Amino acid sequence: MSILEVSGLRKVYTTRLGGNRVEALRNVNFSVENGEYVAIMGESGSGKTTLLNILAALDKPTSGVVVLDGQNLAKIKESQVATFRRDNLGFVFQDFNLLDTFSLEDNIYLPLVLAGRPYREMKERLDPIAQRLGITELLKKYPYEVSGGQKQRAAVARALITNPKLILADEPTGALDSKSTDELLELFGEINKYGQTILMVTHSVKAASHAGRVMFIKDGEVFHQIYRANNTIQQFYQKISDTLTMLATGGDRR
Ligand SMILES: Nc1ncnc2c1ncn2[C@@H]1O[C@H](COP(=O)(O)OP(=O)(O)O)[C@@H](O)[C@H]1O
Ligand SMILES: [Mg+2]
């Protein structure tokens, strides 16, 4: 079953005077199956952030349709969008987006606090997640007291705690050293194995090689995609590198 269906997505930015138009997304079509782990790669300016913002209902497309778990995002009332986002999506960002004045635990609880859930339920949800992510001992600490990798694990816990249909990650390893990157990628692989659907934008071939499918976006369109299938992560890494080289040297689409 598709959890996400994107069709004919187009986004044109215009300056206030209307003089300057940028077609950030031209015609994006793809779907994501329940339980998939998909990476999106593309050069700077290819429309990745624009796409993520639209999928997160943070921005509206010029035309085209996004359906998340059967719900057309355009049909959600303005007053319901924040609730919809909180109930259905988890976010992991490059720069963690943790609040410095909150402990890790309170950061992780935040989406549930905003949803008005009782404390007992929050705690019941957090315990197994914290254990799985190895941050149980760190929960009372503040973001500035822990490493980047530990911050990102707290951010993953915050994304998981609402039990979202889809995790959207924007360069989640972008600010991590190589050891923390390895740990985070292992973690993403593991939560995906448990059934979590993940859509991750990344520049990193290494990060993408952990996904089950990589979509390449170029000039506002999905230009190409490859599946890991039975390849090992190492083999897939090589395939992704080769594909990027082919795309950079102007490889023809057909
Ligand atoms: N708010 C905006 N207003 C005008 N142009 C924008 C805006 N956001 C992005 N763009 C343009 O849209 C294109 C795609 O940008 P973006 O989605 O940020 O790409 P990426 O994340 O792949 O680097 C770029 O040409 C960028 O300059
Ligand atoms: Mg971007």
pLDDT digits (tens, 9 = 90+) for 139-193: 999 999 999 999 999 999 999 999 999 999 999 998 889 998 998 999 999 999 9
Q: Which two tokens stand for residue 103?
A: 């402990």
How distant, in Å, are the alpha carbons of 83, 91, 191 from that of 86?
5, 10, 19
Whether the Cβ atoms of residue 159 and residue 121 lie closer than 8 Å to each other: no
Ligand 1 atom closest to the CA of 53, numbered from 1:
17
The whole-model pTM stands at 0.92
Ligand 1 atom closest to the CA of 11, numbered from 1:
12
Instruction: State the pLDDT confidence band at 254, using cuts at 50, 70 and 90.
Output: very low
Residue (of 205, 155, 165, 195) closest to 35 by Cα position: 195
* Interior angle at CA 219, CA 217 and CA 222, nearest 5: 30
The rounded Å distance from CA 15 to ligand 1 centre is 12
Q: Which two tokens stand for residue 44?
A: 């700077």
Strand pairing class (213-218; 198-201):
unpaired
Please provide the average confidence, as pLDDT, over all residues in the chain: 92
Q: What is the pLDDT of residue 243?
A: 94
**Residue 132: is its pLDDT beyond 90?**
no
Query: Ligand 1: which of 10, 11, 13 to mutate, most ligand atoms within 8 Å of CB?
Result: 13
Instruction: State the pLDDT confidence band at 227, using cuts at 50, 70 and 90.
Output: very high
Q: What is the pLDDT of residue 102?
A: 96
- From the number of C-beta atoms within 10 Å of its C-beta (0-12, 13-18, 19+), residue 144 rates as exposed
Q: What is the pLDDT of residue 253?
A: 52
Residue nearest to atom 13 of ligand 1 (CA): 24
The type of residue at 175 is: A
Q: Which two tokens stand for residue 205?
A: 């071939």
Euclidean distance between CA atoms 4 and 97, whole angstroms: 25
Give the pLDDT mean for 210-220: 95
φ/ψ of 46, rounded to 5, equals: -85, -5
Ligand 1 atom closest to the CA of 217, numbered from 1:
22
Give the pLDDT mean for 84-96: 90
Angle between helices 178-193 and 119-133 (to 10 degrees): 120
Euclidean distance between CA atoms 50 and 38, whole angstroms: 17
**Residue 252: is its pLDDT beyond 60?**
no
Query: Ligand 1: which of 41, 50, 51 to mutate, most ligand atoms within 8 Å of CB?
Result: 50
Q: What is the pLDDT of residue 237?
A: 97
